[in-house]
Each structure stands twice: as C-alpha cells, then as structure tokens.
Chain A
Amino acid sequence: MEKYWGFIIPAVSVIVALVIAAFVIMAVGKSPIEAYAIMVKGAFGSSAAIVNTIVKTTPLILTGLAVGFGFRAGVFNIGAEGQMIMGALTATAVGINLGWAPPYFALSLTIIAGMLAGAGWAAIAGYLKAKTGAHEVVTTIMLNWIATYLSSYMVQVPLAVGSGTPKSPEIAPSAKLPILMKVGPMEMSAGIIISVIAAIVMYVLLEKTTTGYEVKAAGFNPYAAEYGGISISKNVTMSMAISGALAGLAGVVELMGVHHRFLGTLSGGKGFDGISIALIGQNHPIGIIFAALLMGALRTGSNEMQFAGISKHIVMIIQGIVIFLVAADRIVRTMILWRKRKKVKA
C-alpha cells in the first residue's frame, strides 16, 4: 500500500475537491453535474478543445518539473517565474536575429540560449545559498522582480516594436517550433513533445544516474551527503541551475510555440503554478505530467463554464482544495484507512 500512496493521495484529493466544489456550485443555484459536464466538454469535447488543453498544459509541465526537481534536491525554487521570463527574453533576443539560419540550427540555438539563461538566473540564488547561506526563497523572489522589470524595460526600449501593448518583434520563422496540429485558430506546437521528453530526462537523471543519487541524498540529509563525499555547495548550485533550465525551457516553448514574440503577459504566473503542480504530482516526473494536465484541463474547461453562467473561479476552489489535501496528506490517509477499518469491522 505504502508504495501507491504517491498516486492514491492526489487522486483521492481531486475527487474530494470535486465533491466539495459541487456543493459550492449547488449553493449558487446551479447543477454541479451540468457544470462538470460543460467543463469536461470544454477541455476534451472537441479536437479544438483538446488542442487548447494541451497548449495550456505544455508550459505547466515544465514549470512543475522545475519546482519538483528543486524539491527533490532540497531547494525550494520559488523563482520559476523569473527564470521562465529570463528564458523567454533571452530566446527572444537570440530568435529575432536568426533569420539567416536554417531551422535545426536556429531552433537548437534558441532553445539552448533560453535554457542557459534560466539556469544562470537560478544559479545565482544557488550560488548565494552555497557561499553565504542566503535562503533561496528570499533570493529567488528578489530575482523574480528583477526579471519582471528587466523584461518590461527590454520590450519598452531596446526590443520594442509597434505601438500599444509593449512587445518585441517576432522571432525568425526558422526559430518557431514546428506545428503538429492546427484546428481553426488553435495551433499545437512541438512544445508538448519537448515537455514530455524533459520529464523523461528528469526521471532518468533522478533514478538512474549517480548525479541523481547525489542530488536526492543532499535533499534528504545534507549532513549524510557531505559525509558521503557529496559537496553540498556544488549540489545546491547545480540543482538550482537544472531547475532553472527547466523553467527557462518553459519560457522558451511558450515563446517559440505560442506567442512567437515576447509579451509582458507571457509567463502569467505559470512559474508559480509550477509549485502547486509539483506538489500535486508529488515531485515525480510522471505525476507532474498528469498534474499539469489536470491544471490545464481545469483552466480550459473553466472558460466554457463561464459561458454557461458559472464563475470560472470555481476552478480556483477545486485547485485550492486539491493542494490543501495533498499538502495535508494525513487527512487523506486517515480518510482512506478509516473507511478500510470500518469495512473490516462490518
């Protein structure tokens, strides 16, 4: 049983959250069954809906992986948002200048530039922690603000184009991610493939490599890790860099696959969503994919629900309850065990 808790707890949490939210929907005088039916239809009911859900899910997988990797390594990377911005911003700066380059070159260069930027941005916090003990929660939040205002300056002055909303020029066509599927105005880029590959790479890194062994050991017990010849300062910096690279990649796929230019709203809190997703996905790469899908589907479906006259904020309630239950996993454990015990007695 113990082995499956990681899966059971989030699953039960989602069900419980849906039930509680159903009462809230009833309380505002609507039918929960109808509301949920609309939501499911909105998220998966047509190929356009599915494409929309996947597009929303893609960056969430990557920010979830970023935060989840940090947790496994014992660092709380609350700065995925800023790293995502830096990734997208750098990829923009590179991508708009690659009109001359063939796609394979332009694509890989832009992706690598964005990932390096995210990694470097996060590594600052890692290095500060290793050298001075400055807590990464504080430093990454500070770096978030720096990234926000830096990007806002960049699209208003050096990279500005057009009028109205501050934005950068479009990146070169060769630096846009290939489109896998197009339904009406909705385009699904290869970003989803990149996200899933990133999850697999993270799984292999954590479970199969010596680096993963060291990262997890340092996360569980830094004293034992140091005793066992694992340099904590090196590990903190490296773990933050890997986490930041994943967050940077989230910015990259959002830029290269969806917007094709830098906009102030590009990150839009997805870096912070990564924290909830990592939590729901229990910091496991596969779990994170499903958690991101859940979040993406809720977001897409809620838009549809809005048209049916039910506030889309119901989704925030569901999301909040799920996170609460996953974080306070003892509640769910007790619920399940209590039911089991009752069955045994009966």
Chain B
Amino acid sequence: MYEEYAVVMKGIVKRFPGVLANDHVDLFVRKGEIHAIVGENGAGKSTLMNQLYGLLHPDEGEIYVFGKKVDMKGPRDAIRNGIGMVHQHFMLVGNLTVAENVVLGSETTKGGFVFDLREARKRVKELSEKYGLHVDVDAKIEDIPVGMQQRVEIIKTLYRGAEILIFDEPTAVLTPQETEELFEVMRRLKAAGKTMIFISHKLNEVMEISDNITVMRLGKVTANLITKETNPREIARAMVGRDVVLRVEKPPHEPKDVVFEIENLWVKDNRGLDAVRGVSFKVRAGEIVGIAGVAGNGQSELVEAITGLRKIEKGKVTLLNRDITGLDPRSLRNMRMTHIPEDRLKYGMVLQYPAYYNMILGKHWWEPYSIRGFLNHPAIFEDSKKLFEEFDVRPRNINMLGGNFSGGNQQKIVVAREVSSQPKFIVVAQPTRGLDVGAIEFIHKTILKLREQDVAILLVSMELEEVFSLSDRILVMYEGEIMGEVKPEETNFEEVGLMMAGKRLEEVRS
C-alpha cells in the first residue's frame, strides 16, 4: 500500500490534557519531493512531526513509511526507518569537533572498542562533498556560525542513513544569505533523491522551496495545495481561516510634542565594548520611530539602556521633560514607560507563573493589584480575563502556566500586559519574531492603535518589512551608530540596506 509515497500518516489523532492537538490528520508525502507543512503557532505541526519521529505515539491512526506500516516507539525506530530530524534547536555538543558530533551515538571504532577518529573524519568528508554541505570537519561546534551548525545537523541525519529529512522551522535562526545556502543544499538533496518535510510559517520561503503544501489549523488539515498553483494569500487564508492583511494600512496621524529624547547615548555590551556609540534621537507623541539594522549592531543594548536594564555610560535620557538617565525599571514603569522585550522567554514572562500573574508583571505593585502590600487576587483574575478576551489569547485559561502557552499566545500575553498599562512611551523590540501571519497582523494593528492614542513608540526590528510598514521615521543602526534618518515613503529597501551595511545616508545619496 502507498508505494509511491515516502510518508503516509492516516487519521492521526493525538490528545493532550484539554487539547486535541491532532484531529484525524492525513498527510501524504511523495518520494523525492519537498513537502511544506504550514500553520499558525499551536496548529499541531510539531505534534504531528514528533509522532513521525517517534517522540510521541499517536492515540489513533496509522503511519506508513515507504509503503510499510510502522509503529515507532522512539527516535531510534524512526532512524531505523530512514527518518531524520533537523531540530530547530541544534542538538550538538559545543566543545566537540564537527566530525565527533556527527558520529556521536554511533561512533566509528577500531576493533569494536576504540574510537576511530580518522574513519569518522573520512566519512563526514565524503558526505559533505557528496551533497555539497560545506563544513570544516575539525572545527569545534562553538567556533562555527549557525548556518554551518545546521549543516552539521543535516550531515548527522544523513550519516545515520536518513532518506526522509524533517526540517523543523530551519530558517528561524538563519540570516537571509544562510537561508539561501540552506535552500541550495535542499535542492541538492532533492536531486539526490531524498524526501524532505519542511515546517515553516514564512510563506515566501514555502513558495520558493516546496513542491506541495499541507496547511494545518487548530489540529486539522485545512488545505492540500500544489505550490505552483497557489499563492501566499490562499495559503494565509487556509492557515488563519479568514482573509489576512499581509501589510497593515497606516492612516495619516499628526505627531504631537516630544515625549522621549536621548542625547549622545553611550552603552557597553557584556564584554565591556562600546555597543552604542553616541546615539541621539527624539520620539514624539503619536509617532512610531523605527530602528532598522542587522542583528547585533547595538539595538539590544540600546533598548536595555533605555528601559533601565543596562548601565548608561554617557549621555542623557529625557522622558516627559524629566531627566531619567540611570533610573531603575520600577521608576520608569511608574512614569508609564513600558517595554515589549525582544526575548519574551527570558525577559517577558515568568514561565512557572500562571498567566494571571504574568499579566501583572511590572505593575504588580499598582492598585488595584496590590493593596497595602497584599495581592488583590479578584482584581487580578478579572483584569486577566478581560485582557484574554480583548487580545484573543488561546486557550482562554488564565490559570495555565506561562510556559504552557504557544509562542504566539505568550507574545499576546506580553503585548496585552504592556499595552494595557496606559503607556506614555513604549519600547517595542522584535514584536513579531517567530509569529505566524495572523498574530503578526494583530500585533501590528495593536501598535498602530497605540499611535492613534498618541503614545510615543520606539520600534526595533530586524524585519525590514515591519519597520517600513509601521514607522513614521526610520533610523538605521550600524555598529552602534545611527547611519541616517529616512521616511519610509521617501526611501526604499535598497537605500536602507546600504545603510544597514555601514554606509551613511549622505554617502548613499551622493
């Protein structure tokens, strides 16, 4: 049965307490194709793949690999059936070399006992040359870039004899150039007859690399599409269940007085080097100032310094005509500065706290949440429920622990909390990283609503598209300095791209 398919999953049902993660899902993957699985966060993609990789066992349904019915009890069974997984978070040992990492767990040996490094190096080299996966076999993992680490992961699966490779959101950690290199590798693997399953929610990537697309929503398959015959709009509709605006409409809005200002700000990074070097700008009420730049050019340090999380070496920060240089986060919050942090897991949430406690983090000492030093639980519950409704956080369970929500819903909790604190000035860093189209649309609309309410907004994002569609003014940051200020309607990607690479506006325009 199903001989022409590499993978067939039929009628898969997987339940978790209170959630139907996979509801009679069918998946057909042809031999030698690149098959994309797309869907919102929490749609059940990862659950489905974890069952194919033997990490979870389906409650109902059957799995066929190359026409043979299989019952997998763990990843070992999956590997034996020729299935390999390239994880989103790499499973590599930092202080071992590439070759050592590849063979780890099934080492080449001399006489069945002694580890044979020479043989391991030889085999890794063979694989890397055969599929054009350029790696340095003797380099330590911690010394090589992320893109190469990912190639090591791919070689690892091939070394174990994988014919079917599952890529779990492989591009989330890559730069655009590295993504292009990955796609090149995938094309080469395809030419060599490998089958690939590609999980993503970046629609342009899916359009570029896949042959067929399975769209999931709320645990069910909502569409099976042929890539050549579809378009991003159709995929987005199947993902979200309604028409999605891929780029929000920004109505004209006149900014008011200056709310926030920094002058000649200098900040050091964790290694003690200057990360922000003499940055100055103003943000007015009802205005979105966007900061564009390649990751690691001082944006994180800038945000942390502004929000009181990092020491300011030199310079002056003013909020509502008051000098706030060096104030702690608590005082800044009392002055109605709020912050959507770029790393919601590290800064934005206490994962072990229930959602209702996460909803008050950073205003927990305010009335009505705290009265004479005691928490006012009824008020906390009531406001959390209200915000869950207003921001459509799913599931609607304020008692669930923060860590048990999907990424998109965690972000909604953070956004709901920061937006509902009646900010005068809000710092928004990477608000849509890792989110799906539906959630992105929602968060963009929320930010624009704040602009209409005359909040001053500083937006920091690596997504150029996002900076362009939301900002009133764009500042481009490179190596801790501002390369220039442009208005989105008076510039283009190319001009901003050149500034991101270190050219000043004067040089670009001369």
Chain A residues near B (Cβ < 8 Å) = 208-214, 216-217, 220-221, 223-231
Counting CB contacts under 8 A, is B375 at the interface? yes
Chain A: CB-nearest residue to B341: A227
Alpha-carbon distance A221/B309, docked complex (angstroms): 15
Interface of B is mostly: loop
Q: Which residues of chain B come closer than 8 Å to A212, judged between CB atoms?
A: 375
5 contacts between A and B (CB under 8 A): A209-B374, A209-B375, A220-B351, A227-B307, A231-B328
Q: Which residues of chain A come closer than 8 Å to B255, judged between CB atoms?
A: none
Chain B: CB-nearest residue to A225: B350
Alpha-carbon distance A85/B346, docked complex (angstroms): 39
Q: Which residues of chain A come closer than 8 Å to B361, judged between CB atoms?
A: 217, 224, 227-228
- Listed residue (A216, A217, A220, A229) with the most chain B CB atoms within 10 angstroms of its CB: A229
Q: Which residues of chain A come closer than 8 Å to B364, judged between CB atoms?
A: 210, 213-214, 228
Could you mark each residue 357-372 of chain B with 1 if its beta carbon is under 8 Å from any beta carbon of chain A, else 0? Answer: 1000110110001100
Q: Which residues of chain A come closer than 8 Å to B30, judged between CB atoms?
A: none
Report the minimum CB–CB distance from A1 to chain B (whole Å). 9
Counting CB contacts under 8 A, is B113 at the interface? no
Report the minimum CB–CB distance from A38 to chain B (whole Å). 43
Whether A224 lies near B350 (C-beta < 8 A) is: yes
Report the minimum CB–CB distance from A262 to chain B (whole Å). 36
Whether B352 lies near A220 (C-beta < 8 A) is: yes
Whether B365 lies near A210 (C-beta < 8 A) is: yes
Q: Which residues of chain A come closer than 8 Å to B493, judged between CB atoms?
A: none
Report the minimum CB–CB distance from A282 to chain B (whole Å). 14
Q: Which of B330, B346, B362 contacts A223 (CB 8 A)?
A: B346
Counting CB contacts under 8 A, is B37 at the interface? no
Counting CB contacts under 8 A, is B424 at the interface? no
Chain A: CB-nearest residue to B347: A227
Q: Which residues of chain B come closer than 8 Å to A225, judged between CB atoms?
A: 350
Q: Which residues of chain B come closer than 8 Å to A210, judged between CB atoms?
A: 364-365, 369-370, 373-375
Counting CB contacts under 8 A, is B329 at the interface? yes
Q: Which residues of chain B come closer than 8 Å to A211, judged between CB atoms?
A: 373
Q: Which of A208, A209, A217 contacts B350 (CB 8 A)?
A: A217
Whether A224 lies near B329 (C-beta < 8 A) is: no
Alpha-carbon distance A93/B26, docked complex (angstroms): 78
Q: Which residues of chain A come closer than 8 Å to B341, judged between CB atoms?
A: 227
Whether A226 lies near B346 (C-beta < 8 A) is: no
Whether A221 lies near B330 (C-beta < 8 A) is: no
5 smallest CB-CB distances across A and B, nearest first, come from: A229-B330, A228-B361, A228-B362, A210-B370, A227-B347
Counting CB contacts under 8 A, is B353 at the interface? yes
Taking A214-B364, A221-B351, A227-B362 as given, write out 9 further A-B residue pairs in contact, using a Cβ cutoff of 8 Å, ordered by the A residue number. Answer: A210-B369, A213-B364, A216-B353, A223-B346, A224-B346, A224-B348, A224-B361, A225-B350, A227-B329
Counting CB contacts under 8 A, is B339 at the interface? yes
Alpha-carbon distance A329/B362, docked complex (angstroms): 33
Q: Which residues of chain B come closer than 8 Å to A227, judged between CB atoms?
A: 307, 309, 329, 339, 341, 347-348, 361-362
Q: Which residues of chain B come closer than 8 Å to A216, judged between CB atoms?
A: 353
Whether B330 lies near A230 (C-beta < 8 A) is: yes
Alpha-carbon distance A210/B377, docked complex (angstroms): 11
- Listed residue (A210, A211, A217) with the most chain B CB atoms within 10 angstroms of its CB: A210
Q: Which residues of chain A come closer than 8 Å to B307, judged between CB atoms?
A: 227
Counting CB contacts under 8 A, is B349 at the interface? yes
Whether A229 lies near B350 (C-beta < 8 A) is: no
Whether B328 lies near A229 (C-beta < 8 A) is: yes
Alpha-carbon distance A213/B380, docked complex (angstroms): 13
Q: Which residues of chain A come closer than 8 Å to B328, judged between CB atoms?
A: 229, 231
Q: Which residues of chain A come closer than 8 Å to B370, judged between CB atoms?
A: 210
Counting CB contacts under 8 A, is B433 at the interface? no
Given A208-B375, A213-B357, A213-B375; A229-B348 close (CB under 8 Å): no
Report the minimum CB–CB distance from A309 to chain B (whole Å). 49
Alpha-carbon distance A24/B346, docked complex (angstroms): 47
Whether A220 lies near B373 (C-beta < 8 A) is: no
Q: Which residues of chain A come closer than 8 Å to B373, judged between CB atoms?
A: 209-211
